[in-house]
Structure 1
Amino acid sequence: MPHAPSPAAAAPAANAEADAGVAAALARNGADAAMAERVKTEFLHAWNGYRQYAWGHDALLPLSDGAHDWYGQSLLMTPVDALDTMLLMGLDAQADEARELIASRLSFDRDLDVKHFEIVIRLLGGLLSGYQMTGDERLLALADDLGTRLLPAFDSPTGLPYVYVNLRTGKVHGTESNPAEAGTLLLEYGTLSRLTGKPVYFEKAKRALVETYKRRSPIGLVGERFDVETGAWTRTDSHIGARIDSYYEYLWKCWKLLGDRDCKAMWDDSIAAANRHLPEEVDGALWYGHVDMATGTRTASLYGALDAFMPGLLAYSGDVDRARRLQASSFAMWNAHGIEPELWDYRKGEVVAPAWPLRPEIVESAWYLYRATGDTAYRDMGRSMFNDFVRYTRTDSGFAALESVVTKEKADDMESFVLAETFKYFYLLFAEPGTLDPEEMVLNTEAHPLRPMR
Structure 2
Amino acid sequence: MHVLSSIVGACTLGALALPTTASPTRRAAKPSYVAHPDRVDAVKAAFQRSWDGYYAHAFPHDSLKPISNTYSDDRNGWGASAVDALSTAIVMGNTGAVIQILEHVQKINFDVAVGDISLFETTIRYLGGMLSGYDLLTTPDALSADLKTLYTNNRTLVDGLVTQAENLANNLMVAFDTPTGIPDNTLQFSPPQITNSTSNSIATIGTLVLEWTRLSDLTGNGQYAEKSQKGESYLLNPQPKALAEPFPGLIGTNVNISNGQFLDGNGGWVGGDDSFYEYLIKMYIYDPVRFASYKDRWVLAVESSMAHLASHPSSRPDLTFLAMFSGTAPRFISQHLACFDAGNIILGGLVLGKQRYIDFGLELAASCHDTYTATVTGIGPETFSWKDNGTLLPLNGSTNGGPPTDQVDFYNKSGFWINDGQYILRPEVIESFYYAYRATGDTKYQDWAWNAFLAINKTCAAGSGYSSVTNVQAENGGTFQDFQESFWFAEVLKYSFLIQTDDTVYQVQADNSGKFVYNTECHPVRLSTSYGKP
- Alignment partner of 1:94 is 2:116: no
SS at match of 1:405: coil
Contact 1:149 1:168 in 2 (8 A): no
Unaligned runs of 5+ in 2: 1-8, 13-33, 139-157, 239-243, 350-356, 388-402, 404-415, 509-513
Q: Secondary structure at the match of 2:320?
A: strand
Cα displacement string for residues 324-373 of structure 1 (whole angstroms, at most 9, x for unaligned residues): 11111101111221211111113242111121110001111101110000
Change (3 A) 1:166 1:27: closer
Report the CA distance shift for 1:204/1:126 in structure 2 as closer, same or farther (over 3 A): same
In the alignment, which of 386, 411, 415 is matched to residue 346 of structure 1?
A: 386
Structure 1 residues 45 and 247: CA distance shift in structure 2, 3 A: same
Following the alignment from structure 1 to structure 2, what is the Cα–Cα distance between the partners of residues 238 and 108?
34
Cα deviation digits, residues 396-453 of structure 1 (max 9, x gap): 2100011221221211111100001110000001011216222321110001110012
Aligned to 2:329: 297
Q: Does 1:284 align with 2:318?
A: yes
CA distance in structure 1 between the aligned counterparts of 2:48 and 2:485, rounded to whole angstroms: 15
Question: What displacement does 1:213 show?
Answer: 2.5
| Residues 32 and 416 (structure 1), Cα distance of their counterparts in 2 relative to 1, 3 Å cut | same
User: Which residue of 366, 371, 388 corresponds with 1:328?
Assistant: 366
Considering Cα pairs closer than 8 Å and 6+ residues apart, tell me whether 1 or 2 has the greater RCO.
Answer: 2
Residue 314 of structure 1, CA deviation: 1.1
For 1:230, the equivalent position in structure 2 comes to 259
Aligned partner of 1:52 in structure 2 is 56
Q: Distance in 2 between matches of 1:279 and 1:290?
A: 10
Q: Give the 3-state SS of the residue equivalent to 2:283 in structure 1.
A: helix
Specify the alignment match of 2:36 in structure 1: 32
Q: How many residues are paired up?
A: 424
Q: Does 1:178 align with 2:201?
A: yes
Which residue does 1:414 correspond to in 2?
484
Distance 2:223 2:425 in 1: 35
Gaps of 5+ in 1: 1-25
- The answer to whether 1:219 aligns with 2:238 is no
Q: Provide the rounded CA distance (Å) in 1 between the counterparts of 2:485 and 2:246.
A: 38
Separation in 1 of the partners of 2:303 and 2:258? 29
TM-score, with normalisation over the residues of structure 2?
A: 0.77
Once the two structures are TM-superposed, the CA of residue 265 in structure 1 deviates from its matched residue by 2.1
Distance across 1 between alignment mates of 2:372 and 2:300: 31
Shifted more, 209-218 versus 134-143: the winner is 209-218
Larger Rg: 1
Q: What secondary structure does 2:74 align onto?
A: coil
| 1:67-107 Cα deviation digits (max 9, x unpaired) | 11126x5211011000110010010111111111221x211
**Counterpart check, 1:430 vs 2:462:** no
Deviation at 1:172, TM superposition (A): 0.6
User: What does 1:50-449 align with in structure 2 at a 5 Å threshold?
Assistant: 50-70=54-74, 74-103=77-106, 105-110=107-112, 113-135=116-138, 136-173=158-195, 174-215=197-238, 216-217=244-245, 219-220=247-248, 221-259=250-288, 260-282=291-313, 283-293=317-327, 296-298=328-330, 300-318=331-349, 319-337=357-375, 338-347=378-387, 348=403, 349-407=416-474, 408=477, 409-434=479-504, 436-438=506-508, 439-449=514-524
Select the residue among 46, 68, 72 that pairs with 1:42: 46
Task: Indicate conservation of the 8 Å contact 2:10/2:39, yes or no.
Answer: no
Partner of 1:16 in structure 2? Answer: none
Which AA in structure 2 matches 1:219? F
After superposing the two structures, state which structure 1 stretch, 353-362 or 217-226, moved more: 217-226
| Alpha-carbon distance between aligned partners in 2 of 1:375 and 1:200, rounded to the nearest angstrom | 43
SS in 1 for 2:504: helix
Q: Is the 8 A contact 2:336 2:380 kept in 1?
A: yes
1:258–1:170: structure 2 CA closer, same or farther, 3 Å change rule? Answer: farther
Percent of aligned positions that are identical: 30
CA drift of 1:158 comes to 2.4
Query: What do residues 89-131 of structure 1 show as CA deviations (whole Å, max 9, x unaligned)?
Result: 010111111111221x211111553111000000000111112
Confirm or deny: 8 A CA contact 1:113 1:164 kept in the other structure.
yes
Q: Is the 8 A contact 2:324 2:332 kept in 1?
A: yes
The RMSD of aligned alpha carbons is 1.8
TM-score (norm 1): 0.90
Question: Does the CA-based 8 Å contact 2:498-2:507 persist in structure 1?
Answer: no
Give 1 or 2: higher helix fraction. 1
Aligned counterparts of 1:317 and 1:31: Cα–Cα separation in 2: 25
